[in-house]
Amino acid sequence: MLAGALLVPLALVACGGDNSGEDDRPATPPGLSAGFSTDFSKHSVPLDQFAGGGPPKDGIPAIDDPKFVSVPGADGFLVDKDPVAVLEIGGATRIYPIQILVWHEIVNDTVGGEPVAVTYCPLCSSTVAFSRDVEGQLLDFGTTGRVRKSDLVMYDRQTESWWQQLTAEAVVGELTGTELKVLPSGILSWGEARKLHPGAEVLSRDTGTDRDYGSTPYRGYDQPDSTPFLLDEEADPRLPPKARVTTIRTGADSAVVYPLETLKRQAPVNDEVDGRPVVIFFDSNVASPLDQPQISSSREVGSSAVFSRKLNGRVLDFSAAGRGLVRDRQTGTTWDLSGRGTKGPLEGEQLKRVAADDQFWFAVAAFYTDADIRTGASESTQAP
C-alpha cells in the first residue's frame, strides 16, 4: 500500500446472490481473488468493502526470516527520535524499527518462545503484535494487497484466510470469526528504547529485500485534516481524521480513546477503563514515520504506554517526575517509560502493560463505532 502506488477500489459485489453454476459456492467477486485460494463463500463482512491498495498479494513482502543486531549495532542506522516497536515476552525483548516495518508491514518471528507477528499499517499508523498460535495451529502471515476501511488486511499462508489488523479477526475464509491474541507492545523513541532495554535484540536492515530504509514512501501523509486513502465512509468529525490517539479496546465495537495532544499536556494520566485502574505514560520524542522523506528529519509526534495501576493488591496514582520519569504518590517510587520502578520502595517492580495502540482517529472510529474520547481523567466525548 505504498503512497506512490496506484490505489484502485476493486469492483466487488457481496457474496450470497444467485449462482446458477455447478458449484453451490457463490461466485467470487471479480478482481478480489487473484492469486488466492481463499474460501470466499465464508465472510463476516461485505466483500465490497475491500479495495486494492496498489501492490498485489505479497507485493509488500513480509519478513519471514528476521535477523537481529545488538543495541550498539543498531546505533549505526537509528537516531534518538526514530520510532521503534518494543515487544517483551518471557524475559526476551525485541525491538522493531518502524523505518523497516513501513516497507514490510509484517514480521513473522518468535520471541521468548512465543510465535508472534509484529505488524504496522502505514495508512492508519497502527502497530499491533499478535500470537501466531491459533488453537494449536501455527500460522504465518503475508500482505493481501487489499485494505478495508484503510486498514491492513493480512492473510495466513496455512488457510489463506484474510485478517483485519485493527480488530485481530479473520473476516474472510476458512477461519472467519477467529480472533488472534493481541500481545501488549508499545512504541518508543530509539533514544528511550536503547536506554531502557540495552540488552535487547534489534531487527536488522538485512531483510533480503532492497529498500531505502530510513526513508518513507508515505511522506506528508499524516497531516491531521488530510483525507485517508480508500476510506469508504465519512470520518467521525469529533476529531480530525488523522489526529493521533491511544486506543484501549473495551468490546467488539467499543474503545476508550485518548488524543496524543491531550497526553502531551497531561501525562501521566490516571484513569479507569472498564473498571480497571490504568495509567498512561507518554514519550514526547518519537518522530512520525509519515512526514518528511527521511524519518530522522520528521516532526516529533510522541507515543504512549498504558499500564495497570494495580500492583501487589494496591492501586497507585502517578504524577510527572521530570526527564521521562513518573512518581507514584503512595510510595514515592520513580518509574520509567517501560513501567519499571527505578528508585524507591518499589524499585525493580514491573507494572503490567495493558494492550493498547496508537493510531489515527479515523481508523478507530471506523472499527469501534462506540468510541469514548477522553480529553482528561474526568472528561469524555461519547459517540453520538
Residue 172 to residues 14, 26, 310, Cα–Cα distance (Å): 12, 14, 39
Q: What is the mean pLDDT of residues 258-283?
A: 96
Query: Is pLDDT at 372 greater than 90 in this prediction?
Result: yes
DSSP 8-state secondary structure symbol assigned to residue 24: S
Neighbours of 223 (CB within 10 A): 12
Report the alpha-carbon distance of residue 154 to residue 38 in Å, rounded.
12
Q: What is the mean pLDDT of residues 289-302?
A: 97
Query: Is pLDDT at 4 greater than 60 in this prediction?
Result: no
- The grid cell for 137 is 495451529
> Strand pairing of 201-203 and 92-97?
parallel
Query: Is pLDDT at 47 greater than 70 in this prediction?
Result: yes
- Name which of 236, 276, 196, 189 is nearest 360 in CA terms: 236
pLDDT of residue 284: 95
Per-residue pLDDT band for 234 (boundaries 50, 70, 90) equals confident
Q: Which residue has the higher pLDDT, 11 or 301?
A: 301
Query: Is pLDDT at 36 greater than 70 in this prediction?
Result: yes
Q: What is the mean pLDDT of residues 5-13?
A: 32
Report the alpha-carbon distance of residue 296 to residue 82 in Å, rounded.
6
Query: In a 10 Å sphere around its CB, with 0-12 CB exposed, 13-18 middle and 19+ buried, how is residue 242 labelled?
Result: buried
pLDDT of residue 119: 98
pLDDT of residue 52: 87
Q: What is the pLDDT of residues 93-110, one digit of tens each?
A: 999 999 999 999 999 999
Query: Is pLDDT at 24 greater than 60 in this prediction?
Result: no
Q: How many CA atoms lie within 13 A of 69 on its CB side?
A: 14
Least confidently predicted of 49-58, 166-175, 180-189: 49-58
Rg of the chain in Å (alpha carbons): 21
Peptide bond into 268 cis (omega under 30): yes
pLDDT of residue 109: 98
pLDDT of residue 5: 38
Query: Is pLDDT at 1 greater than 70 in this prediction?
Result: no
Q: What is the mean pLDDT of residues 375-381?
A: 53
Q: How many CA atoms lie within 13 A of 65 on its CB side?
A: 4
pLDDT of residue 376: 66
Q: Is 244-381 assigned to CATH 1.10.620?
A: no
- Domain residue spans in the chain? 244-381
Query: Is pLDDT at 381 greater than 50 in this prediction?
Result: no
DSSP 8-state secondary structure symbol assigned to residue 368: -
Query: Is pLDDT at 34 greater than 90 in this prediction?
Result: no
Element (H, E) at 253: none
- The grid cell for 326 is 513518573
Q: What is the pLDDT of residues 173-191, one digit of tens each?
A: 999 999 999 999 999 999 9
Report the alpha-carbon distance of residue 161 to residue 42 in Å, rounded.
9
Report the alpha-carbon distance of residue 154 to residue 143 in Å, rounded.
5
Query: Is pLDDT at 313 greater than 90 in this prediction?
Result: yes
Per-residue pLDDT band for 7 (boundaries 50, 70, 90) equals very low
Q: What is the mean pLDDT of residues 223-247?
A: 91
Q: What is the pLDDT of residues 118-127, one digit of tens each?
A: 999 999 999 9
Q: Grid cell 476508550 — which residue?
A: 256
Report the alpha-carbon distance of residue 219 to residue 320 in Å, rounded.
33
Question: E-assigned strands of 208-363?
Answer: 244-249, 254-259, 269-273, 276-283, 303-308, 310-311, 314-315, 318-322, 325-328, 334-335, 341-343, 357-360
The pTM assigned to this predicted structure is 0.90
pLDDT of residue 17: 32
Q: What type of residue is 312?
A: N
Mean pLDDT across the chain: 90
